[in-house]
């Protein structure tokens, strides 16, 4: 008698229904998001939306039929998203597009532009016909004076411009992020007020990182990837990353937090030997993740990633079970409830789309490699994750930036290794005393120079970039195709079959 085993795949709608029932947060997220989108496209009086919400909520509570109840629950979530978006859409009380006295505070690290610098700020007060009015309104600042730094408060006579940028897509994006306008600070046209005491953790990290790198372009890259500041990236370097599809490396996101989680997790492995060691290790990892989020300035993509990894760590430390898609959906729900405008934030969209692609396509591919013991599966895993994330984000990038870089499919797996070195050793350089941090700083600098060289050489080839605007409906169709493929994949189930045979 002999025993043999093989893998058997089968298609079943029951499998699809079972897997969809295991992600209730995802099923709730869809109608809520549709409600937020509907509020931006359809004009309805607020009392009508409230009435529809009450009616559908009543039906969800009192109907006996399960199908009807689910339909009313979905409608209730849709009108909930509509109401949340409507409440967040209240117009600003700031006077815009005419001259007033303004008090503004800088609260971000400056980023170089063509002939000026840009950073975030907060309008603290403005003076109109009724005297000074207090405010706390985020704005984008344009500066022509190099002496102003984060924390400085200035008073000027000028305009709070409603248009942040002449590029319509970017202007709409910044308004969705909560910025209420733009203030221009020309040299000598303002009065400096008493500055805030101290510097934020973000700025202190920028200053500390600066001590460990000597090469200017390598420092610009490391600063962007480790502390989220792109102030020193020149146009040439920006073009190299943009046209090779590597711009996502310059914006701190889930990739960067995943690297940190891995590095810190390995360093803290000995803690597992202690009583309650798993829980202590999870708490320390979560603390480091949120410290990194603070260092990088709490961008939407970083907050989303930190929330997701926090839920993951809590799940692993308590019950040991974790549904990646359900966790991601819970995080997105929390963020959209806090700020429905995140749905229109490009960095948020790219982060979510990339992670969804990795969870729904990348993870099954990795499971397949592991089950079938494919040679070089560890290296292939890195390549698979990179390719899936690139493929899923490509339609959005093409729509927003009007070009598609197929070069990123080739280059992305290569720069993943340099990204691990830059972020991992960069965090160690920030945490350790200067003497111990110096070797890590040198490795980080070498990795950043190598990564810049790869991006520049790929850009110089001139291959793999297609220019041209991608229409919005095409993007929608592409993602609908992705979703259809995903649903078909979720309907397939692979089982290991064991066969007994009797030898003659």
What are the DSSP E strand ranges found in 187-337?
Answer: 190-192
DSSP string, 77-142: HHHHHHHHHHHHTPPP-S--SS-EEEEEEE-S--EE-SSSEEEEEEEEEEEETTEEEEEEEEEEEE
CA-to-CA distance for 110 and 445, rounded, in angstroms? 22
Q: Which phi and psi angles does 198 have, rounded to 5°? A: 80, 175
Domains in the chain and their CATH numbers? 11-88 (no CATH), 100-192 (2.40.50), 203-490 (no CATH)
Handedness of CA 144, 146, 151, 152 (dihedral sign): negative
Contact at 8 Å (CB) between 83 and 75? no
Q: Which residues pair with 132 in a beta bridge?
A: 127
Long-range residue pairs from 337-341, CB within 8 A, at least 24 positions apart, any chain:
337/84, 339/88, 339/178, 340/36, 340/39, 340/81, 340/84, 340/85, 340/88, 341/85, 341/88, 341/176, 341/177, 341/178
Residues in Cβ contact with 190 at an 8 Å cutoff, skipping those fewer than 6 apart: 154, 155, 156
CA-to-CA distance for 182 and 175, rounded, in angstroms? 10
Q: Which residues pair with 467 in a beta bridge?
A: 403
In the numeric block, the tokens 């919005």 are attached to 472
Contact at 8 Å (CB) between 205 and 430? yes
Q: Is 446 exposed, middle or buried (0-12, 13-18, 19+ CB in 10 A)?
A: middle
CA-to-CA distance for 118 and 116, rounded, in angstroms? 7
CA-to-CA distance for 318 and 438, rounded, in angstroms? 38
Tokens of 13: 């709608």
Handedness of CA 154, 159, 163, 166 (dihedral sign): negative
β-strands 131-143, 111-112: how paired?
Answer: unpaired
In the numeric block, the tokens 């490391």 are attached to 222
Nearest in space to 44 (alpha carbons), one of 5, 83, 7, 73: 83
CA-to-CA distance for 309 and 314, rounded, in angstroms? 9
Contact at 8 Å (CB) between 153 and 194? yes
CA-to-CA distance for 272 and 178, rounded, in angstroms? 42
Q: Residue 111 is inside which H or E element, if any? A: strand 111-112
pLDDT tens across the length of the chain (504 residues): 554 555 455 667 777 788 778 888 888 999 999 999 898 888 888 889 999 999 999 998 888 778 888 899 999 999 999 998 887 765 567 888 889 999 998 876 677 777 788 888 889 999 977 788 888 888 999 999 878 877 788 999 999 999 998 877 778 778 777 788 999 998 888 888 865 555 667 777 877 888 877 778 888 898 888 887 777 788 788 888 877 878 778 877 777 787 787 778 778 888 877 877 778 888 888 888 888 888 877 766 677 778 877 876 776 666 544 467 887 788 888 888 888 888 887 777 877 888 788 788 877 777 777 666 665 555 666 667 767 877 888 788 777 766 666 677 678 777 878 888 898 888 888 888 878 888 888 899 899 999 999 988 888 876 656 555 667 788 889 999 999 998 888 787 665 554 545 455
CA-to-CA distance for 328 and 381, rounded, in angstroms? 21
Q: What share of the chain is helix, strand, coil (3-state, %, to 5)?
A: 60, 15, 25
In the three-class reduction of DSSP (H, G, I as helix; E, B as strand; rest coil), residue 389 is classed as helix
CA-to-CA distance for 34 and 36, rounded, in angstroms? 5
What are the DSSP E strand ranges found in 153-218?
Answer: 153-158, 182-185, 190-192
Nearest in space to 359 (alpha carbons), one of 323, 393, 390, 332: 323
In the three-class reduction of DSSP (H, G, I as helix; E, B as strand; rest coil), residue 23 is classed as coil
Q: Residue 121 is inside which H or E element, if any? A: strand 117-128
Task: Give, in order, the Cα–Cα distances in Å from 105 to each of 140, 151, 193.
Answer: 11, 6, 9
Q: Give per-residue burial for 323-345: e unless 16+ CB within 10 Å, then b.
A: bbbbbbbbbbbebbeebbbbbbb
Q: Residue 205 is inside which H or E element, if any? A: helix 201-210
Angle at CA of residue 63, ends 59 and 65, nearest 5°: 130
Residue 417 CA to chain centroid, in angstroms?
20
Tokens of 194: 């008493």
Q: What is the CA radius of gyration of the chain?
A: 25
Contact at 8 Å (CB) between 419 and 451? yes
């Amino acid at each position: 008698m002999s025993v043999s085993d093989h893998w058997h795949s089968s298609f079943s709608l029951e499998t699809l229904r079972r897997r969809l029932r295991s992600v209730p947060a995802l099923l709730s997220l869809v109608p809520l998001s549709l409600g937020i989108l509907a509020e931006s496209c359809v004009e309805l009086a607020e009392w009508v939306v409230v009435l529809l919400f009450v009616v559908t909520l009543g039906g969800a509570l009192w109907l006996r039929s399960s199908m009807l109840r689910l339909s009313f629950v979905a409608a209730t979530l849709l009108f909930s998203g509509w109401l949340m978006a409507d409440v967040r859409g209240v117009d600003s009380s700031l006077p815009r597009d005419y001259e007033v006295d303004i008090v503004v505070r800088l609260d971000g690290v400056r980023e170089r532009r063509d002939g000026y610098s840009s950073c975030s700020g907060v309008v603290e007060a403005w003076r109109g016909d009724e005297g000074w009015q207090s405010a706390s309104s985020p704005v984008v600042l344009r500066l022509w004076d190099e002496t102003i730094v984060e924390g400085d408060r200035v008073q000027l006579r000028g305009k709070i411009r409603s248009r942040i940028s002449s590029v319509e897509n970017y202007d709409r994006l910044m308004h969705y992020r909560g910025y209420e306008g733009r203030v221009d600070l020309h040299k000598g046209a303002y009065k400096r007020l008493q500055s805030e005491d101290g510097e934020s953790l973000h700025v202190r990290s920028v200053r500390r990182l600066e001590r460990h790198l000597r090469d200017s372009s390598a420092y610009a890259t490391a600063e962007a990837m480790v502390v989220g500041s792109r102030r020193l990236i020149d146009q040439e370097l920006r073009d190299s990353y943009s046209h090779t599809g590597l711009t996502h490396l310059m914006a701190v996101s889930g990739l960067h937090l995943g690297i940190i989680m891995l590095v810190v997790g390995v360093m803290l492995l000995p803690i597992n030997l202690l009583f309650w060691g798993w829980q202590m290790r999870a708490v320390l990892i979560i603390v480091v993740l949120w410290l990194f989020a603070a260092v990088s300035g709490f961008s939407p993509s970083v907050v989303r990633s930190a929330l997701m990894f926090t839920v993951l760590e809590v799940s692993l430390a308590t019950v040991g079970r974790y549904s990646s898609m359900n966790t991601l959906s819970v995080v997105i729900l929390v963020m959209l409830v806090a700020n429905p405008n995140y749905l229109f934030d490009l960095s948020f969209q790219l982060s979510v789309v990339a992670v969804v692609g990795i969870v729904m396509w990348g993870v099954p591919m990795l499971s397949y490699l592991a089950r079938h013991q494919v040679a070089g599966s560890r290296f292939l895993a890195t390549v698979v994750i990179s390719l899936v994330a690139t493929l899923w984000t490509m339609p959005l990038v093409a729509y927003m930036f009007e070009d598609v870089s197929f070069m990123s499919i080739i280059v992305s797996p290569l720069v993943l290794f340099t990204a691990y070195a830059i972020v991992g050793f960069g965090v160690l350089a920030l945490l350790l005393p200067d003497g111990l941090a110096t070797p890590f700083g040198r490795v980080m600098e070498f990795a950043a120079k190598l990564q810049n060289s790869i991006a520049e050489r790929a850009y110089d080839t001139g291959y793999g970039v297609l220019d041209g605007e991608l229409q919005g409906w095409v993007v929608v169709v592409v993602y609908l195709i992705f979703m259809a493929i995903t649903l078909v994949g979720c309907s397939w189930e692979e089982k290991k079959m064991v066969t007994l045979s009797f030898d003659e």
